[in-house]
């Protein structure tokens, strides 16, 4: 959930709401307030959140929010909840997202702020319940049919309840035992014009063959007249954990995939797909275990704005987060249910092994790097660990491994300066911890000769005091002393500093471990505050 504020005056209220929803983030307009995530343009930011289905609580006037999301409102089915909350917390106004629980959210935020939410949905006001947003474990069969049903009731028609709907016990519905209309709670597929059909997610499928799973599950459901929406989980023996087709099937059926050593229910027929129908919703998390995941993410150079949404999503669902302390802190704040494992920067392989151990227990593990995880960072360390130890730990191969890219320091620095990497360039680490210095010298010389722009990572450290000046001396053999050099320090962080100097001027006193050094090619030029390398040669 995104709690969006325009200025510092709303921060108190925002944090009170966040305390109730710990996984939410406070988004603040750059330069007006400091929060978890900074944005530049309110309208564009809110529309991007809306488009990605993120629930939005905007602490500003309802009018501002409505105008911002107006261009996106056509598709009513998929909208996330959007609410306006007065910045002093005195009013909570649900705007859109009735089907995704905006009124439930409004009541919860109202409770946190001790105000009555401004609920305007007639069905909800009349019945004290939104019939179209059943609780967790249940799903509405058909939204259009549901809307017709609610308007019929509002027009004075009565209804019965068929099946078990405990959440409707207190609802103020116009009931009549002989009413032709019914709220029907059933796992069966029904086509009944006069009913509001709600499926409990109470069907579990056990698969012991991973071919054409989605298709076979659908037909097994059809045979027993069960609705696909009533499916709560796919379950399979643990040796299918790495099966791609099973994973695809679970995604196609939109249900969790769980692994067990034996079927989680008695199987009475010998078919490859067995179905079990329970009389109440089933919590998939309570069956067997999930396939563990290990996601290596890059946080970008520092600011939340430059972190990709994919990296952010991985952090939201993570159960364990591992990484060098500074980066793990950058990735926070974390919820109480998330375990954080901070380690020293040099223990990369050990961290990678630990990540695999946790993931092979079925946990969702995230390993964080700064910038991009594939650039002098954890992605390679994780693959090295797997390569070295997969024979000894076959269970590591069953872990679902993913690498999520990030904005690397060279790209972030280049963007701040203009486009110094606008033509061919190379990326080099000046650290000789993992390679001999002679290799570095040779590469710099070749890059110099090839007229590549160069991005130097790890330019200098206390343990490597002379290497940077030596590297620059080599470049000077091939480039004019007026060649522009960009020095980006702490880019994307509060202490960000950018300097443009020349190859003649640059020296180790101007750089440290937090600096990115970009040396231009023969065509790189300075124009006012900008540095760029044209895309062509004369």
Which residues are within 8 A (CB) of 446 and not within 5 positions of it... i.e. 6 or more apart? none
Q: Is 305 in the site for ligand SAH (CB under 6 A)?
A: no
Near ligand SAH by CB under 6 A: residue from 409, 472, 500, 503 = 409
For residue 286, the 8-state DSSP code is G
Q: Which stretch binds ligand SAH (CB under 6 A): 131-139, 189-197, 408-416, 528-536?
A: 408-416
Considering only 369, 467, 524, 533, the residue that binds ligand SAH (CB under 6 A) is 369
Nearer to ligand SAH among residue 84 and residue 444 (C-beta): 444
Q: What is the 3-state secondary structure (H, E, C) of 373-399?
A: CCCCCHHHHHHHHHHHHCCCCHHHHHC
Region binding ligand SAH by CB under 6 A among candidate stretches 328-336, 396-404, 470-478, 510-518 = 510-518
Residue 452 near residue 521 (C-beta atoms within 8 A): yes
When the beta carbons of 220 and 460 are compared against ligand SAH, the nearer one is 460
Of 196 and 491, nearer to ligand SAH (C-beta) is 491
CB of 429 within 8 A of CB of 436?
no
124 or 372: whose CB is closer to ligand SAH?
372
Alpha carbon distances (Å) from 288 to 229, 259, 260, 270: 21, 5, 5, 21
420 is a site residue for ligand SAH (CB under 6 A): no
The four Cα atoms 248, 257, 315, 396 give a dihedral, to 10 degrees, of -90
CB neighbour list of residue 516: distance below 8 Å, 6 or more residues apart: 409, 410, 412, 413, 455, 456, 457, 459, 486, 487, 488, 489, 491
Q: What is the dihedral of CA 134, 140, 143, 147, to 10 degrees?
A: -50
Tokens 């954080």 locate to 340
Query: What residues between 176 and 195 interact with ligand SAH by CB under 6 A?
Result: none
- Closer residue to ligand SAH (CB): 200 or 373: 373
Residue 251: both structure tokens together: 């995604």
User: Least separation, in Å, of the C-beta of 489 and ligand SAH?
Assistant: 6
Out of 55, 80, 81, 302, the only residue in the binding site for ligand SAH (CB under 6 A) is 302
Nearer to ligand SAH, 434 or 527 (CB): 434
3-state secondary structure of 312: helix
Which 59-118 positions form the footprint of ligand SAH (CB under 6 A)?
Answer: none
CB of 514 to ligand SAH, least distance (A): 6
Q: Which stretch binds ligand SAH (CB under 6 A): 20-28, 132-140, 329-337, 363-371?
A: 363-371
Minimum CB–partner distance for residue 371 and ligand SAH (Å): 2
Q: Which residue has the tokens 């935020």?
A: 109
Return the range that interacts with ligand SAH (CB under 6 A); candidates 84-92, 331-339, 387-395, 511-519. Answer: 511-519
When CB distances to ligand SAH are compared, the closest residue is 371
Q: Closest separation between CB of residue 44 and ligand SAH, Å?
A: 24
Q: In the 3-class helix/strand/coil scheme, how is 330-345 assigned residue by residue?
A: HHCCCCCCCEEEEECC
Chosen residue from 516, 518, 519, 531 binding ligand SAH by CB under 6 A: 516
Task: Name beta bridge partners: 258.
Answer: 235
450 or 497: whose CB is closer to ligand SAH? 497
* 3-class SS letters over 245-266: HHHHHHHHHCCCEEEECCCCCC
Closest CA relative to residue 324, chosen from 309, 350, 342: 342
Token pair listed for 129: 């319940």
Which residue from 533, 19, 39 is spatially nearest to 303, judged by alpha carbons?
A: 39
Say if residue 337 is exposed, middle or buried (CB neighbours under 10 Å; 0-12, 13-18, 19+): exposed
Number of residues that bind ligand SAH (CB under 6 A): 25
For position 513 contacting ligand SAH by CB under 6 A, the verdict is yes
Q: Kindly state the DSSP code that residue 483 receives in the 8-state scheme.
A: -
**x/- map, 272-301, ligand SAH, by CB under 6 A:** -----------------------------x
Q: Which is nearer to ligand SAH, 124 or 348 (CB)?
A: 348
Contact between 303 and ligand SAH per CB under 6 A: no
Query: Tell me, what DSSP letter sits at residue 300?
Result: B
Using the rule CB under 6 A, give the single segment among 225-233, 236-244, 248-256, 406-414 that binds ligand SAH: 406-414
Measured torsion, CA atoms of residues 365, 368, 372, 377, in degrees rounded to the nearest 10 = -100
With CA atoms as reference, report the closest residue to 362 among 296, 289, 294, 295: 289
Applying CB under 6 A, the span of 20-28, 274-282, 365-373, 526-534 interacting with ligand SAH comes to 365-373
Each residue 375-394 as x (binds ligand SAH by CB under 6 A) or -, in order, gives xxx-----------------
Q: What residues between 448 and 507 interact with ligand SAH by CB under 6 A?
A: 457-459, 488-493
Applying CB under 6 A, does 371 fall inside the site for ligand SAH?
yes
Q: How far is the CB of 523 from ligand SAH (least distance, A)?
A: 24
b/e burial code for range 119-156 (CB count within 10 A of at least 16 → b): bebebbeebebbbbbbeeebebbeeebbbebbeebeee
Checking 448-452 for CB contacts under 8 A at 24+ apart, the result is 448/474, 448/475, 448/477, 448/478, 448/479, 449/478, 450/424, 451/424, 451/478, 451/521, 451/522, 452/424, 452/425, 452/426, 452/521
CB nearer ligand SAH, residue 50 or residue 324: 324
Cβ at position 135, least distance to ligand SAH in Å = 44
* Closer CB to ligand SAH, 88 or 344, in the complex: 344
User: Among residues 302 and 484, whose Cβ is nearest to ligand SAH?
Assistant: 302
Q: How far is the CB of 111 from ligand SAH (least distance, A)?
A: 41
Chain residues in the site for ligand SAH (CB under 6 A): 301-302, 369-372, 375-377, 408-409, 413, 457-459, 488-493, 513-516
């Amino acid at each position: 959930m995104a709690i969006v504020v325009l200025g510092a005056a709303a921060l108190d209220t925002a944090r009170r709401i966040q305390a109730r929803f710990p996984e939410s983030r406070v988004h603040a307009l750059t330069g007006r307030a400091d929060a978890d995530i900074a944005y530049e343009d309110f309208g564009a930011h809110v529309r991007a959140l809306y488009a990605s289905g993120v629930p939005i609580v905007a602490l500003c006037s309802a009018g501002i929010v409505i105008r911002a999301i107006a261009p996106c409102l056509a598709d009513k089915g998929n909208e996330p909840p959007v609410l306006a909350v007065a910045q002093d917390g005195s009013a909570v106004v649900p705007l859109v997202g009735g089907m995704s629980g905006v009124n439930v959210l409004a009541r919860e935020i109202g409770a946190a702020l001790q105000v009555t939410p401004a609920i305007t949905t007639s069905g909800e006001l009349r019945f004290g319940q939104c019939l179209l947003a059943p609780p967790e474990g249940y799903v509405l069969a058909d939204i259009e049919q549901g809307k017709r049903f609610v308007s019929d009731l509002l027009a004075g028609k009565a209804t019965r309840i068929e099946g078990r709907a405990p959440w409707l016990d207190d609802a103020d519905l116009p009931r009549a035992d002989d009413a032709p209309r019914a709220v029907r709670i059933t796992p069966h597929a029904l086509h009944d014009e006069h009913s509001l059909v709600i499926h409990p997610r109470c069907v579990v499928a056990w698969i012991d063959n991973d071919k054409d799973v989605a298709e076979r599950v659908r037909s097994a459901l059809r045979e027993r007249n069960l609705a696909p929406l009533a499916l709560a989980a796919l379950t399979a023996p643990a040796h299918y954990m790495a099966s791609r087709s099973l994973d695809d099937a679970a995604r196609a059926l939109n249900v969790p995939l769980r692994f067990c050593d034996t079927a989680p229910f008695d199987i009475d027929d010998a078919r490859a797909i067995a179905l079990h129908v329970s009389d109440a919703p089933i919590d998939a998390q309570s069956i067997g275990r999930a396939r563990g995941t290990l996601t290596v993410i890059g946080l970008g150079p520092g600011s939340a704005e430059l972190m990709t949404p994919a990296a952010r999503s991985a952090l939201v669902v993570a159960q364990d987060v591992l990484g060098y302390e500074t980066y793990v802190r950058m990735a926070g704040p974390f919820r109480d249910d998330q375990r954080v494992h901070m380690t020293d920067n040099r223990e990369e392989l050990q961290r990678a092994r630990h990540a695999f151990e946790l993931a092979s227990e079925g946990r969702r593990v995230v390993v964080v790097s700064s910038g991009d995880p594939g650039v002098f960072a954890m992605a390679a360390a994780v693959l090295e660990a797997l390569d070295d130890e997969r024979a000894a730990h076959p269970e590591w191969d069953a872990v679902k491994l993913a690498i999520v890219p990030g904005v690397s320091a060279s790209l972030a620095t280049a963007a701040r300066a203009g486009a110094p990497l606008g033509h061919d360039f190379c990326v080099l680490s000046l650290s000789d911890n993992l390679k001999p210095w002679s290799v570095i010298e040779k590469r710099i010389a070749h890059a110099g000769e090839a007229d590549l722009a160069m991005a130097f990572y790890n330019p200098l450290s206390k343990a490597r005091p002379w290497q940077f000046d030596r590297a620059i001396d080599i470049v000077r053999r091939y480039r004019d002393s007026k060649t522009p050099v960009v020095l980006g320090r702490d880019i994307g962080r509060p202490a960000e500093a950018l300097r443009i100097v020349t190859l003649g001027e640059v020296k180790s006193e101007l750089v440290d471990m937090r600096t990115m050094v970009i040396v231009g090619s023969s065509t790189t030029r300075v124009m006012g505050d900008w540095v760029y390398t044209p895309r062509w040669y004369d």
